[in-house]
Amino acid sequence: MEDEQFIRIKEEVLRRIRPPEDEVERVSALADSLITICEECAHELGLCVTCTLVGSVARGTWLKGDHDFDVFILFPPSTSWEELERLGLEIGRRAARKFASLYKGDAKVIERYADHPYIQLVFEDGEVDFVPAYRIDDASCILSAVDRTPHHTRYVLSHIAGREDEVRLLKQFFKAAGIYGSELKRRGYSGYLCELLVIHYGSFLECIRAMASWRRGTVIDIEGHSTKKHDEPLVVVDPVDPKRNVASALSLDNFARSIHRARAFLSSPSPSFFEIEEESLSIDPRRGTGLLALEFPRPELVDDVLYPQIYHAMESVASLLEREGFRVYSKRVGERDGYICMLFELEVWELPPIKKHMGPPVDLREHAERFLARYRDNPRACSEVYIENGRYCVDLRREHQRADALVAARLKECSLGKHLNEVLTGRAVVLFGEDVMRRGRVFRYA
């Protein structure tokens, strides 16, 4: 790639994604005041805690307009979990209210409980999460899931020096490819992972060049201190915790997609690689495939709880279809206005009234005789018991020749997950053919 051409692209993209001066100033002022307010509130309660800003705002790597604040309230490790939760939330609550009362504009305070409780403040400029955590010296000995975060921020701040824009380019590159974010819905690259890649490779362009030649099992160990074998497609050893893989959430397909996009960018660089395209669930009817959709109201769950269940349920429905002889050509999930849509594209929509049922080898006498006794005069059998490859077989009448009838009747048998079971078996609509496309077009690909 010509340097000049790339520099031009880089500048054009950065103009769109780099926060302008006034945003940077406003964000720093807000961040300062948030920390000050939070520490004051802790003081008022007579508590010995530190408040610290973490996340992309603290690291100076946020994308224009995308400045959410993460304020961590750090307790000494001697604090009990109950105390940390109670006192942490109390400080957060007070700080949020105080900030909201000082803030000129709309603001609301929400208490949230993921696997970690925290206070969320939503205001015009963005969101603030007040998160109670432990202050741990060694990041490999953390007590709660979020204790590592301040270490990450410290590490990035001391190594990123002047390459914030390179991180922004990488984040935007992944965003455009639909693989930014390590949430369980997305299974892509986290912000911290982007920062580490830039620290390791030195720049966006060097990172992309390396990525184009990545192989499954590539290991990046910046501090050279790995202590564990991982078998994910990409391994980026956490510089603050030698046994952790920062890229553990990255799926094989998203790993492959990043390689694909990196090569494509290198062979014909263009600003379009940084533009986000919206995808819909629609499928071209000229493909002549059979379409089956399951549409149901979204249960009130956070994505990280809901999406693993959705993916699991999709696999389970697909495997029911395959087991009964319907080949699943592709499957996707979309979301819209509180509704989820699972879409299955089938090679064949209808199967003959019979199916082959394989029995045991004829020479396993006990099993063989049991099979024969069951199917010799069985009303579902529509053939004699016959022999194929040394085994008994019989042709049985299918209960459902059509894929939609099969799914409607046997969805209950699928492993749908705790929270999906009810909506799927009780309130799901099974759609097929043109109905799917009429609705599918309005669903965005998840």
To the nearest whole angstrom, how small is the minimum distance from the Cβ of residue 169 to its own copies? 22
Give the nearer residue to its own copies in terms of CB position, either 17 or 259: 259
* Whole-angstrom distance, CA of residue 249 vs CA of residue 252: 10
Annotation-wise, does 357 bind a ligand? no
Token match 């899931």: residue?
Answer: 145
To the nearest whole angstrom, how small is the minimum distance from the Cβ of residue 398 to its own copies? 9
C-alpha distances in angstroms, 352 versus 49, 280, 348, 397, 402? 70, 33, 11, 9, 9
To the nearest whole angstrom, how small is the minimum distance from the Cβ of residue 122 to its own copies? 36
To the nearest whole angstrom, how small is the minimum distance from the Cβ of residue 255 to its own copies? 7
Annotation-wise, does 70 bind a ligand? yes
Residues that bind its own copies (CB under 8 A): 212-216, 233, 252-253, 255-257, 259-260, 263, 286-290, 325, 327, 329, 347-348, 351-354, 356, 361-365, 368-369, 382, 387-392, 395
Exposure of 106 in the CB half-sphere (CA atoms within 13 A): 3
Give the nearer residue to its own copies in terms of CB position, either 42 or 320: 320
Annotation-wise, does 175 bind a ligand? no
Beta bridge partners, 180, equal: 189
Q: Which two tokens stand for residue 378?
A: 């069985």
**Burial (Cβ within 10 Å: 0-12, 13-18, ≥19) of residue 292:** buried
Annotation-wise, does 59 bind a ligand? yes
To the nearest whole angstrom, how small is the minimum distance from the Cβ of residue 261 to its own copies? 10
Give the nearer residue to its own copies in terms of CB position, either 78 or 268: 268
Beta bridge partners, 256, equal: none
* Whole-angstrom distance, CA of residue 57 vs CA of residue 45: 27
For residues 12, 13, 14, 15, the Cα torsion angle rounded to the nearest 10 degrees is 50
Annotation-wise, does 129 bind a ligand? yes
What does residue 4 show for φ and ψ, rounded to 5 degrees? -60, -45
To the nearest whole angstrom, how small is the minimum distance from the Cβ of residue 333 to its own copies? 15
Annotation-wise, does 171 bind a ligand? yes
Annotation-wise, does 16 bind a ligand? no
Annotated binding-site members for Mg(2+): 68, 70, 129
Annotated binding-site members for CTP: 56, 59, 152, 171, 180
Annotated binding-site members: 56, 59, 68, 70, 129, 152, 171, 180
Annotated binding-site members for ATP: 56, 59, 152, 171, 180
